[in-house]
Chain A
Amino acid sequence: MSAAGLKKLTIEHLRGSVAPFALPLEKGKKLTVVYGENASGKSTICDAFEFLGKGRVGSLENRGLGKTNKYWHSVGKNPADVAVTLENLDGSSCRAIILKSDVVANPAASRPRVEVLRRSQILALVEAKPGERYAAINRFIDVSGVETSEAALRQLIRDLTGNSEVALARVRENLDAILQFWEAAGKPGSDPLSWADTESTRDPNSSDAEVAALATLQAAYSRLGDYPARLKSAKAAVQTAKAAAVEAQQKAQECVQTIAADAGEIMGVLESARAYLYKHPAPTVCPLCESAEKVQGLNQRITERLASFSSLQTAQAQTKTAGAGAERLEQQLEALRASAKNHAEGFEMARAGFAWSADITMPAAPAPLDIEALETWLAGVAHLPAEWKKAEMVRQDKKQFVETLKRACTTYTENVQAQKELDTLLPKLNCALEIVAEERRLFSDNILAKIAGEVGRIYELVHPGEGLNKISLELDPNKRASLEIGASFCGETGAPPQAYFSDSHLDTLGLCVFLALAAMDGPENTILVLDDVLASVDEPHVERLIEMLYAEAIEFRHCLITTHYRPWKQELRWGWLKNGQCQFIELSKWTSQQGMTLVRSIPELERLRTLLNETAPDPQLVCAKAGVILEAALDFLTQLYECSVPRRPGGLYTLGDLLPSIDKKLRNALQVEVLVTDAAGASSYQTRSLTPILEELIRVAQARNVFGCHFNALSFELLESDALGFGQKVLELIETLADPDAGWPRNSKSGKYWANSGETRRLHPLQQPT
């Protein structure tokens, strides 16, 4: 949505505005031309817009002043007194003031976008270094975000290309490994991969049960191995124990024979007596016979007698121990036999519990349950454990081989698959990258071409047919952020305009570049300010430059042009320029008391209308003004139709020269189609003949001289109504011929008639009737 139209700019104490200055802006007119002699305050108006929109005062920059803030306020005022207010037609406004050293706009959201071009800056962009030129247009072509994302895509492609190469290398490695396995296996079949596929589908754990059974078998076998030795040892131990028992018994018999026959019973009595005396150490009588005789020393005597029986005791104890030992060893021998039997059964279970492969040899006879036969049996199968171990190793190796082959096949398949996927994905990614890079280049090129085309188009408006409009803007591919400007010159394209163009042409180019860039950035929201840029353009091109500015200004929210080019003022006064979109403002001379002031510049036609509308019109003033206007109209018509007028030094023609030069044929042919709009808004052309107007003017033309030019007594004889009628007819002629907003019909492009801007007037005929 475009921003609202402007209503009024008020400047308080900024630079030349020593007193508050208001610049009213006419509704419906997007172009304001501020005319003023030097030092009338034109630049202050431009500064005010820049102060408001950009928070700076550009006219003071690059003058060796350093920081310019201290010069912003009017003489005798302070920074705090400075304010610029822009009121809009929708009732909104924005006011900028200086707060500390910053320019603060309130409300900030209403701060207008302003682009200012000053005469001193006109060549800045053309003559700038390529890097500075790039910086000026960077905002239109800055696609750094896209470039960063593009770099990420490029990185992905680089990474995946690396991955693809790794996958390819791995495929080769796996293939080599499979080939080696295949060759090691004796090259079965014709294709290593088919063989590997088949082999790798085998269950690597299929021989696990056999390997486990072999382990069980070997363990069972190893348990049997030491029984013969243990049997021998156990048997010898039993034999030795039995011999010891017999010997101990013999010794005990011998002791008994050397001692009394009832020695055993006596020992028992003595033992009991000693136990009694232990409890009654001082008896008065013998506890057995109750005699007091020999009771003295009884305990001593019992101890002595018992000692005489100790050898017998020892022999008896040894006999007992030896017997028990022999008995225990015999039990152990039996246990050994039973254990051997169990283990022999265990071995048989291990052997019979599995369906052994043919390459595994088993004992010809089962393991004997009798331990006595074990030694012979073991000797017969002693070679088998080594074979079983070998068979186990073969199976372990086979398992490992299948697992390795399976891994090789899996890795091969995975890498082939990965490579296939990358082979499909990478071209797509590359295609995407090409699109991104191509669109990015196109985008930048298109924008630069659009800017360059716009510059060329605008340039052609000012310098038509000179062939200098082929402007090019190109990014230097070898340098980042570097922009070259080129133009066509004498058939050479891309020539640096700074090297070939005249100063005037360069000025125009600079202005065109500025306008083209400003138009790129939301012109409908931009206030364009051109400060005295016409001054540097040479005279022949000024007219076209002004026309160009008219045409371009309507694209912007508003365009304000300051100028001290006097012909512009005059042409506007005479309605030679279309001013439908234009508001003309004249500044009077600046004074230190009043500062900047406005002068209302009124077109001549308006002045005549005003004179005629007065209550008592002054015939002399009416005729004088109407005469000058009629001369302007006849000057226009006679030049348009190349009418014959008397040649005279200085080329000054009077009404007497000009009026008759429009001969009767032309006079009768002159007619104007006037575009009128009715109350309902419908437009149509009304044809009005100029013949009766010109006939009447010929009749009353003398009124101009009689009333308007000289003191003439003849005027006493004439009716004042003739004088006023002369004025009315001139007014009618001009209103028919020209449109105050769209100018005079000077354009013959239709090939049928002369037209003004917007064709609100179509003047016929195109040429003098023959």
Chain B
Amino acid sequence: MDTPSQALAAKITERLVREGLITAEAANRLQPRFADGKLRPEDWRLPIELAKKKDAKP
């Protein structure tokens, strides 16, 4: 059974993907460490930058 943190991390990453802030692949990678509180500041930057660049592509 999911812990509250795991359930919430899943909801949040799903919404971040929906809002185009990260890709689905990045969400899958981020989610476990997000729930465990192991994301460092730099871990947030790259997926959002990558999603941004993907957006920018024609």
Across the interface, do A522 and B4 meet the contact criterion of CB distance under 8 Å?
no
Across the interface, do A148 and B37 meet the contact criterion of CB distance under 8 Å?
yes
Residue of A nearest to B48 (CB): A428
Question: Once bound together, how far apart are the Cα atoms of A159 and B42, in whole Å?
Answer: 10
Q: Mark A143-163, 1 if CB is under 8 A from B, else 0.
A: 111111100110110011000
Across the interface, do B4 and A425 meet the contact criterion of CB distance under 8 Å?
no
Residue of B nearest to A158 (CB): B41
Interface size class of A (residues with CB under 8 A): 20 to 34
User: Which of A146, A429, A436 gathers the greatest number of chain B CB atoms within 10 Å?
Assistant: A146
Across the interface, do A425 and B48 meet the contact criterion of CB distance under 8 Å?
yes
Q: Mark B26-40, 1 if CB is under 8 A from A, else 0.
A: 000000011111111
- Interface segment among A184-192, A439-447, A470-478: the answer is A439-447
Question: Once bound together, how far apart are the Cα atoms of A222 and B18, in whole Å?
Answer: 79
Question: Once bound together, how far apart are the Cα atoms of A160 and B4, in whole Å?
Answer: 30
Across the interface, do B41 and A152 meet the contact criterion of CB distance under 8 Å?
yes
**Given A149-B37, A435-B15, CB of A142 within 8 Å of CB of B5:** yes
Across the interface, do B48 and A429 meet the contact criterion of CB distance under 8 Å?
yes
Chain B residues, Cβ within 8 Å of A148: 37-39
Across the interface, do B33 and A149 meet the contact criterion of CB distance under 8 Å?
yes
Residue of B nearest to A521 (CB): B1
**Given A153-B44, A440-B8, A443-B8, CB of A144 within 8 Å of CB of B37:** yes
Chain A residues, Cβ within 8 Å of B6: 145
**Given A425-B48, A431-B21, A432-B21, CB of A145 within 8 Å of CB of B5:** yes
Specify which of B7, B39, B41, B51 is in contact with A159 (CB 8 Å cutoff): B41
Q: Does A140 contact B (CB under 8 A)?
A: yes
Q: Does A291 contact B (CB under 8 A)?
A: no
Q: Does B24 contact A (CB under 8 A)?
A: no
Residue of B nearest to A447 (CB): B4
Interface residues in A296-312 (C-beta closer than 8 Å to B)? none
Chain A nearest CB from B27 CB (Å) reads 12
Extra pairs beyond A142-B3, A148-B39, A431-B21 (11, CB < 8 Å): A142-B5, A145-B5, A146-B34, A148-B38, A152-B41, A153-B41, A156-B41, A156-B44, A432-B16, A436-B12, A440-B8
Residue of A nearest to B37 (CB): A148
Across the interface, do A152 and B39 meet the contact criterion of CB distance under 8 Å?
yes
Across the interface, do B21 and A152 meet the contact criterion of CB distance under 8 Å?
no
Across the interface, do B34 and A145 meet the contact criterion of CB distance under 8 Å?
yes
Chain A nearest CB from B51 CB (Å) reads 8
Specify which of B19, B34, B36, B45 is in contact with A431 (CB 8 Å cutoff): B19
Q: Does A89 contact B (CB under 8 A)?
A: no
* 6 residue pairs, one from A and one from B, having the closest CB atoms: A148-B37, A156-B41, A145-B5, A145-B37, A149-B39, A443-B8
Chain B residues, Cβ within 8 Å of A152: 39-41, 43-44
Across the interface, do B21 and A443 meet the contact criterion of CB distance under 8 Å?
no
Across the interface, do A439 and B19 meet the contact criterion of CB distance under 8 Å?
no
Chain B residues, Cβ within 8 Å of A443: 4, 7-8, 11
Question: Once bound together, how far apart are the Cα atoms of A159 and B40, in whole Å?
Answer: 13
**Given A425-B52, A428-B21, A443-B8, CB of A145 within 8 Å of CB of B45:** no
Across the interface, do A432 and B37 meet the contact criterion of CB distance under 8 Å?
no
Chain B interface residue count, CB cutoff 8 Å, equals 32
Chain A nearest CB from B18 CB (Å) reads 9
Across the interface, do B15 and A155 meet the contact criterion of CB distance under 8 Å?
no
Across the interface, do B1 and A425 meet the contact criterion of CB distance under 8 Å?
no
Interface residues in A409-438 (C-beta closer than 8 Å to B)? 424-425, 428-429, 431-432, 435-436
Across the interface, do A142 and B4 meet the contact criterion of CB distance under 8 Å?
yes
Chain B nearest CB from A521 CB (Å) reads 9
- Secondary structure call for the A interface: helix
Q: List 5 A-B pairs, Cβ < 8 Å.
A: A146-B12, A152-B44, A153-B39, A431-B19, A439-B8
Specify which of A159, A428, A439 is in contact with B12 (CB 8 Å cutoff): A439
Across the interface, do A435 and B44 meet the contact criterion of CB distance under 8 Å?
no
Across the interface, do B41 and A146 meet the contact criterion of CB distance under 8 Å?
no
Across the interface, do B4 and A143 meet the contact criterion of CB distance under 8 Å?
yes
Residue of A nearest to B35 (CB): A145
Chain A residues, Cβ within 8 Å of B40: 152
Across the interface, do A145 and B36 meet the contact criterion of CB distance under 8 Å?
yes
Q: Mark A578-595, 1 if CB is under 8 A from B, else 0.
A: 000000000000000000
Question: Once bound together, how far apart are the Cα atoms of A141 and B45, in whole Å?
Answer: 27
Question: Once bound together, how far apart are the Cα atoms of A602 and B42, in whole Å?
Answer: 71
Across the interface, do A146 and B19 meet the contact criterion of CB distance under 8 Å?
no
Chain A residues, Cβ within 8 Å of B15: 435, 439
Question: Once bound together, how far apart are the Cα atoms of A424 and B8, in whole Å?
Answer: 27
Chain B residues, Cβ within 8 Å of A439: 8, 11-12, 15
Question: Once bound together, how far apart are the Cα atoms of A425 and B50, in whole Å?
Answer: 10
Question: Once bound together, how far apart are the Cα atoms of A152 and B46, in whole Å?
Answer: 13
Across the interface, do A435 and B3 meet the contact criterion of CB distance under 8 Å?
no
Chain B residues, Cβ within 8 Å of A160: 45
Chain A nearest CB from B56 CB (Å) reads 9
Residue of B nearest to A437 (CB): B12
Question: Once bound together, how far apart are the Cα atoms of A424 and B52, in whole Å?
Answer: 9
Chain A nearest CB from B41 CB (Å) reads 4
Chain A residues, Cβ within 8 Å of B52: 424-425, 428
Residue of A nearest to B14 (CB): A439
Chain B residues, Cβ within 8 Å of A155: 41
Interface residues in A157-176 (C-beta closer than 8 Å to B)? 159-160
Across the interface, do A144 and B43 meet the contact criterion of CB distance under 8 Å?
no
Residue of B nearest to A428 (CB): B48
Across the interface, do B34 and A149 meet the contact criterion of CB distance under 8 Å?
yes
Question: Once bound together, how far apart are the Cα atoms of A265 and B5, in whole Å?
Answer: 128
Chain B nearest CB from A425 CB (Å) reads 6
Across the interface, do B41 and A435 meet the contact criterion of CB distance under 8 Å?
no
Question: Once bound together, how far apart are the Cα atoms of A436 and B49, in whole Å?
Answer: 17
Question: Once bound together, how far apart are the Cα atoms of A308 and B48, in whole Å?
Answer: 115
Chain A residues, Cβ within 8 Å of B16: 432, 435
Chain B residues, Cβ within 8 Å of A159: 41
Across the interface, do A435 and B37 meet the contact criterion of CB distance under 8 Å?
no
Chain B nearest CB from A175 CB (Å) reads 27
Chain A residues, Cβ within 8 Å of B42: 156
Specify which of A146, A425, A428, A429 is in contact with B9 (CB 8 Å cutoff): A146
**Given A153-B41, A159-B41, A435-B19, CB of A146 within 8 Å of CB of B48:** no
Question: Once bound together, how far apart are the Cα atoms of A560 and B47, in whole Å?
Answer: 52
Question: Once bound together, how far apart are the Cα atoms of A375 and B7, in whole Å?
Answer: 98
Chain A residues, Cβ within 8 Å of B8: 143, 146, 439-440, 443
Chain B residues, Cβ within 8 Å of A146: 5, 8-9, 12, 34-35, 37
Chain B residues, Cβ within 8 Å of A435: 12, 15-16, 19, 21
Question: Once bound together, how far apart are the Cα atoms of A432 and B47, in whole Å?
Answer: 11
Chain A residues, Cβ within 8 Å of B22: 432
Chain A residues, Cβ within 8 Å of B5: 142-146
Chain A residues, Cβ within 8 Å of B34: 145-146, 149
